[in-house]
Amino acid sequence: MLDKAFDSGSTEPRLYRLWEESGVFAPTNDPAATPFSIVIPPPNVTGSLHIGHALNNTLQDVLIRFQRMRGAAALWLPGTDHAGIATQMVVERQLAAAGNIGRRDMGREAFVERVWEWKAESGGAISRQLRRLGASCDWSRERFTLDEGLSRAVRQVFVALHRQKLIYRDKRLVNWDPRFQTAISDLEVEQREVDGHYWHFAYPLEDGSGEIVVATTRPETMLADTAVAVHPDDARYTHLIGKCVRLPIVGRPIPIIADDYADPDKGSGAVKITPAHDFNDFKVGQRHRLPMINILDPSARINENGPAAYRGLDRFEARKAVVAAFEALGLLRGVEKVRHAVPHGDRSGVVVEPYLTDQWYVDAKTLAGPAIAAVEDGRTVFEPRHWEKTYFEWMRNIEPWCISRQLWWGHRIPAWYGPDGRIFVAETEEEALAAGREHYGCDEPLRQDEDVLDTWFSSALWPFSTLGWPEKTSDLARFYPTHTLITGFDIIFFWVARMMMMGLHFTGQAPFQRVFINALIRDAEGAKMSKSKGNVMDPLELVDAYGADPLRFTLTAMSGQARDIRLSTARIEGYRNFGTKLWNAARFCELNSCVAPPSFDPGLASGRVNRWILGETVKAARQVTRALEACAFDTAAAALYRFIWNAYCDWYLEFSKPVLQGTDEPAKAETRAMAAWVLETILKLLHPVMPFITEELWSKTGERDRLLIVAPWPDLPDAWIDEVAARDMALVVGAIAVGRAVRSELNVPLSARPPLIVVDADPGQRDVLRANAAIIDQMLRVSGLEFQAVSGAVPYVAEGVAFALPIAEFIDLAAERARLAKEIAGQTVDIDRTSKKLANVDFLARAPEEVVEENRERLAERQASKERLETALARLEAVS
């Protein structure tokens, strides 16, 4: 006997263990099975499961469970990302909290060892949390981006790209994060609106003939100015081009140059040029071969290139000092407050500085070509399609990708430097030394590059490195390219684009056929969830409170494509109730000994009600299947909900009661079998979204030869759809539903059991109603059918059949009059609209014939019911 309700707390972990131990998460070895693979977007190893992960991984799990049941060799490959900066931060913070010495004092080797220790202790949290969600990943294939295999792939890719001149070392401006003291890529820079000032400074002309005014929001950079630019056509300044100004404070003469970059409409029209500390100025500096003076040290303090009085000052202190100096010199020409966007490091949160350093770059432009083409010609399709625009936009304007990071945790760059600075790029130190020997003619000591690679460099290889590349493994042959990638739009640039580039370059094939972009989760008010706002919803707490299934169903149902998801517990509660509803339906079946014998062939069922629910089941299965094929997860969830609750529970099980409680044994047997068979089918169809409750019911409602997780997906023949049964049952449903509304509106007590009078129906309809009299009796609470009109009965129409309920003694005349008037008004509106349409010659001439015909039938039907209602109203008036 099933318990009163499903206990998720005790059942879910038990079932997950059962699945995992049964080995069903690994793809089948059946060579005939079509491979279907997904690689997980590897969460940061430092991470814990947040609600976004819950959504993303639920959708992946729905898809992989669906494919597994369909018989595919379904592989969901899990793993984690070493997450350079994030992880290094966590461990450094931990060291600090424990009062230990810092990273720099520890030294590189000891620190990295400490990070590995940390990883061993607490790095697996997110994998455990994914299990609680029910994620059916193949844990035997779990990968980590710093694993030996993946590291080897990274080195090989680096060396190959270097050899192909697609990786190179360059001295240019980078975004420098002074807190972490590392370069970061453009994508890791986040613009934040802050309050600041425009300071207007006068630079005196060297010959004393006047001054030129420039404006800046970063006064400290003037210490590194090497020119002032004006527009060549700016009449105010043409006479000054070629002259010099004497840079205040510093005292250096710098030229006034002509460059289009200067915009006559902005400020004074003259702009200070600081090539070493501004991206635009850098280009101007290159054009004019200006000196590049770097005045900042790695922590953004003024270095030895600044005036003595400023050395060692933090950039913001230096800013104040520079402004004060200008004021003291009488050269401050104005200050305005401005609110402007300032670049910040997305991890560190501090203002980043354009900074002149040597770094490694990937020639992204070249790699982007094939990646753009693959999406253009549809080898890879984004879902929803509009994200392709975003992808193209970025890919077509891509900049060189700075891949070196001045960190310790990550893949160390496989480049070695000789005593003369010559670079040897090789996969191993031995190879580098050998190359050095060949070059120098003797053994020379080489020093490996201190830097590590951007975390996203290894992630870019994820779809093939995790399958064993560069080895030609059977997994690689079988599961690459992967089928679908499910991820968030926030990492289309960071990750998806780069996987496309690397995948195509190294394997010749796009790494996935389809990229499904899932929405972003917000709180019930629409705010982005963040710890600082305190509005985060912890998925594990939600699992504790409601179970994994309701959370999964909620996320699936709300995964509509084009929008942010606002999550509320009310919704989760609703789907918890849905699970309970299913549980109780199963209890009902159990109570009524509903089991489907192995020999049961639903197609041979003869009962009208059974043939009807069979057809509905086929239709529901079609809908769910089609929706999941198309990643229309919300549509699948809606179809399941409707079918299970509104068709199976509300109608079919109610219809079955008179039979199950009756004495017609053959009918009883068929209904028992059908009820059980449909329930079984429901468990299968619902399993991808609600795996736990369905697996539990599967095991408790019948003798099973296998787990539900590997049961075959329902593939039901259309021939099982019986349109006649569907039409017949629509009549029964209509008679009951409309009749109930009449009773309720007229406040007829439930105890009243009048007969149901069938006023006007054709013989076939009468037969249907007669055959279902027991159902109608029970559900409409009437006492049998009568086929003779009685005066004073309250009429209603359903499915074109006229019914009446003799309930005169209960009714309030005024209420009934109001009801009829309202009904008539409703019909009148529709009749007017439809007849107007049919009177329109253009409509008749241009609308398709079937639409015209539909409207004709509709009009006739409405007019008939209106007449009936009017007659009834007239009779009522006569009584009163």
Partner RNA sequence: GGGCGGCUAGCUCAGCUGGUUAGAGCGCCUGGUUUACACCCAGGAGGUCGGGGGUUCGAACCCCUCGCCGCCCACCA
Query: Binding of RNA at residue 52 (CB under 7 A)?
Result: no
Q: Which of 560, 702, 734, 792 binds RNA (CB under 7 A)?
A: 560
Q: Is 423 in the site for RNA (CB under 7 A)?
A: no
Contact range with RNA by CB under 7 A, out of 16-24, 357-365, 574-582, 615-623 = 574-582
| 528 lies in the binding site for RNA (CB under 7 A) | yes
Q: By CB under 7 A, name the one of 650, 664, 767, 867 that touches RNA.
A: 650
Q: What distances in angstroms separate CA 572 from CA 93, 134, 527, 576, one per listed residue?
A: 36, 16, 19, 6
Is residue 261 a contact partner of residue 246, using CB atoms and an 8 Å limit?
A: no
875 contributes a contact to RNA by CB under 7 A: no
Q: Which of residues 821-840 bind RNA (CB under 7 A)?
A: 826-827, 830, 833-834, 837, 840
Q: What mask, x for binding RNA by CB under 7 A, covers residues 737 to 776?
A: x--xx--xx----x--------------------------
> Taking the CB of residue 809, how many other CB atoms lie within 10 A of it?
9
Q: Counting contacts by CB under 7 A, is residue 649 touching RNA?
A: yes
Interface pick for RNA out of 27, 42, 78, 269 (rule CB under 7 A): 269
Contact positions with RNA (CB under 7 A) in 3-32: 5
Which residues make Cβ contacts (< 8 Å) with residue 421, sequence separation at least 6?
none
Q: Are the C-beta atoms of residues 202 and 331 closer than 8 Å to each other?
A: yes
Coil/strand/helix, residue 849: helix
Question: Is 568 one of the binding residues for RNA (CB under 7 A)?
Answer: yes
683 in Cβ contact with 712 (< 8 Å): no
Contacts of 224 (CB under 8 A, 6+ apart): 274, 275, 276, 277, 293, 294, 295, 305
Q: Is the CB of 131 or the CB of 866 nearer to RNA? A: 866
Interface with RNA includes 314 (CB under 7 A)? no
Q: Which is nearer to RNA, 343 or 688 (CB)?
A: 343
Residues in the chain: 880
Give the range of 22-30, 92-100, 321-329, 579-587 binding RNA by CB under 7 A.
579-587
Q: Does 565 bind RNA (CB under 7 A)?
A: yes
Kindly state whether residue 127 participates in binding RNA, applying the rule CB under 7 A. Answer: no
> Is 535 a residue that touches RNA (CB under 7 A)?
no
Nearest distance in Å: CB 277, RNA: 8
Cα separation, 9 vs 12, in Å, equals 6
Told to check if 819 binds RNA by CB under 7 A, we report no
Stretch that binds RNA, among 277-285, 364-372, 689-697, 800-808 (CB under 7 A): 277-285
670 contacts 609 by C-beta, under 8 angstroms? no
> CA–CA separation, 382 vs 391, rounded Å?
9
CB of 751 to RNA, least distance (A): 9
Q: Which of residues 571, 684, 866, 868 is near RNA by CB under 7 A? A: 571
Q: Which is nearer to RNA, 142 or 186 (CB)?
A: 186
- 460 phi and psi angles, rounded to 5 deg: -65, -20
* Identified binder of RNA from the candidate list 17, 236, 266, 770, rule CB under 7 A: 266
Q: CB within 8 A of 73, min separation 6: which ones?
A: 27, 28, 29, 30, 33, 34, 35, 36, 478
Closest CA to 537 of 761, 375, 332, 525: 525
Query: How far apart are alpha carbons 133 and 555 in whole angstroms?
Result: 12
Residue count at the site for RNA (CB under 7 A)? 96
Asked if residue 854 binds RNA (CB under 7 A), the reply is: yes
Residue 128 interacts with RNA (CB under 7 A): yes or no: no
Regarding 842 and contact with RNA (CB under 7 A), the answer is yes
- For RNA, the closer of residues 428 and 661 by Cβ is 661
Q: CA 485 → CA 41, 77, 424, distances in Å? A: 8, 11, 37
- Rounded to a whole number of angstroms, the minimum distance from the CB of residue 35 to RNA is 29
Among positions 3, 113, 233, 263, the unique one binding RNA when judged by CB under 7 A: 263
DSSP secondary structure, 175-240, as one string: EEETTTTEEE-GGGEEEEEEEEEEEEEEEEBTTSS-EEEEEES-GGGGGG--EEEE-TT-TTTGGG
Q: How far is CA 834 from the centre of its chain?
A: 44
CB 791 within 8 A of CB 730: no
Please name the amino acid found at residue 703. Answer: E
Does 533 bind RNA (CB under 7 A)? Our answer is no
Torsion of CA 336, 339, 340, 341, to 10 degrees: 150
Piece in contact with RNA (CB under 7 A), picked from 48-56, 68-76, 267-275, 806-814: 267-275
Contact code string over 439-478 relative to RNA, x by CB under 7 A: ----------------------------------------
The answer to whether 169 contacts RNA (rule: CB under 7 A) is no
Is the CB of 209 or the CB of 530 nearer to RNA? 530
Beta-sheet pairing, 332-345 with 381-383: unpaired
SS3 810: helix
Q: Please list every residue from 170 through 209 that binds RNA, using CB under 7 A.
A: 186-187, 189, 191, 196, 198
How near is the Cβ of 324 to RNA at its closest, in Å?
Answer: 19
Site for RNA in 202-261 (CB under 7 A): 214-218, 229, 261
371-390: contacts with RNA (CB under 7 A): 386, 389-390
Please tell me whether residue 280 binds RNA under the rule CB under 7 A: yes
- Is there binding between residue 397 and RNA (CB under 7 A)? yes
Candidate segments 204-212, 250-258, 478-486, 586-594, binder of RNA by CB under 7 A: 586-594
